[in-house]
């Protein structure tokens, strides 16, 4: 007499069993990968420690050359344009604010609007308060700010601390600046207010 094959309801079906085995293997592999990834990151940090970009204090201008509410455009040896505005008359570094002119949103050039006491980026109507914090437009939505540079005053002269390492790409005149840490200070003009995207 033939006997019917029976299966216990508790016994896992083959497909379910292989699914469980596969899942646990995947979990094990993921754990190993995460562990090795963390180890690799620690090793990379040990082998290639982050190096700070060298910086230097450079002369900008005489204090008297910038009137209260005024602004000047300074070009660092790296080629980075910096807007320096005067917001006080105490004759100290705190009177001034030095901010990158490069909008953190998509790299357009911002300019100082003295009447509105703000930096404005015409590309997408981004606006920044005098300290560089975005107050409207896409940079504000993203919680961005203009990069700030330290300033100091010595003997009635204003100095800025900026990175000096990167080679300046551009005209032979620009290249002359490399190595000597040359920089340029120019009064802000309407031409500066034209919008240009960063290359
Ligand atoms: S690039 Fe300045 S707001 Fe978009």
157 plus 69 within the same structural domain:
yes
20 plus 116 within the same structural domain:
no
pTM, rounded to two decimals: 0.62
95 plus 151 within the same structural domain:
yes
SS3 181: coil
- CA distance linking residue 124 with residue 158, whole number of Å: 33
Please name the residues in contact with 69: beta carbons below 8 A apart, sequence gap of 6 or more: 85, 86, 87, 114, 117
Instruction: State which of 111, 121, 140 you would mutate to test the pocket of ligand 1, scoring each by most atoms of that ligand within 8 A of its C-beta.
Output: 121
Say if 42 falls within a structural domain. Answer: yes
Please report the pLDDT score of residue 142 as a whole number. 97
35 plus 73 within the same structural domain:
no
Domain count, the chain: 2
143 plus 107 within the same structural domain:
yes
> How many angstroms separate the most distant Cα atoms in the chain?
114
- CA distance linking residue 98 with residue 151, whole number of Å: 7
Please report the pLDDT score of residue 53 as a whole number. 77
30 plus 127 within the same structural domain:
no
Please report the pLDDT score of residue 4 as a whole number. 45
Give the pLDDT confidence of 109-153 residue by residue, as tens digits. Answer: 999 998 999 999 999 999 999 999 999 999 999 999 999 999 999
Is the Cβ atom of 126 under 6 angstroms away from ligand 1? yes
Is the Cβ atom of 104 under 6 angstroms away from ligand 1? no
Q: Which residues of 38-65 are buried (b: 16+ CB within 10 A; e: fewer)?
A: eeeeeeeeeeeeeeeeeeeebebbebee
CATH number of the domain enclosing 106: 2.102.10.10
**CA 194 – ligand 1 centroid, Å:** 13
Say if 22 falls within a structural domain. Answer: yes
45 plus 61 within the same structural domain:
no
Is the Cβ atom of 79 under 6 angstroms away from ligand 1? no
65 plus 121 within the same structural domain:
yes
Full residue range of the structural domain in which residue 41 is found: 16-50
- For 195-199, the CB contacts below 8 A with 24+ separation are 195/108, 195/109, 195/122, 195/123, 196/108, 196/109, 197/106, 197/107, 197/108, 197/123, 198/102, 198/107, 198/108
| Spans of the chain below 50 pLDDT | 1-9, 32, 34-35, 38-39, 42, 168, 170-181, 189-199
Say if 1 falls within a structural domain. Answer: no
Is the Cβ atom of 121 under 6 angstroms away from ligand 1? yes
Please report the pLDDT score of residue 134 as a whole number. 98
59 plus 107 within the same structural domain:
yes
59 plus 88 within the same structural domain:
yes
């Amino acid at each position: 007499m033939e006997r019917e094959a029976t299966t216990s309801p508790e016994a896992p079906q083959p497909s379910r069993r292989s699914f469980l085995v596969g899942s646990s293997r995947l979990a094990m592999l993921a754990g190993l990968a995460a562990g090795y990834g963390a180890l690799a990151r620690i090793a990379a940090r040990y082998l290639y420690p982050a190096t700070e970009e060298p910086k230097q204090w450079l002369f900008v201008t005489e204090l008297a050359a910038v009137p209260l509410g005024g602004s000047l455009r300074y070009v660092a040896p790296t080629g980075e344009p910096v807007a320096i505005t005067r917001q006080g008359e105490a004759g100290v570094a705190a009177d001034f604010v030095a901010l990158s002119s490069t909008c953190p949103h998509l790299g357009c050039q911002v300019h100082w609007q003295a009447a509105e006491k703000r930096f404005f980026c015409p590309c997408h109507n981004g606006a920044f308060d005098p300290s560089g914090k975005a107050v409207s437009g896409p940079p504000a939505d993203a919680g961005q700010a203009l990069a700030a540079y330290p300033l100091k005053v010595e003997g009635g002269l204003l100095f800025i601390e900026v990175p000096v390492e990167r080679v300046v790409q551009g005209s032979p005149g620009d290249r002359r600046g490399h190595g000597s840490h040359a920089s340029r200070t120019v009064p802000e003009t309407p031409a500066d207010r034209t919008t240009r995207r960063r290359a």
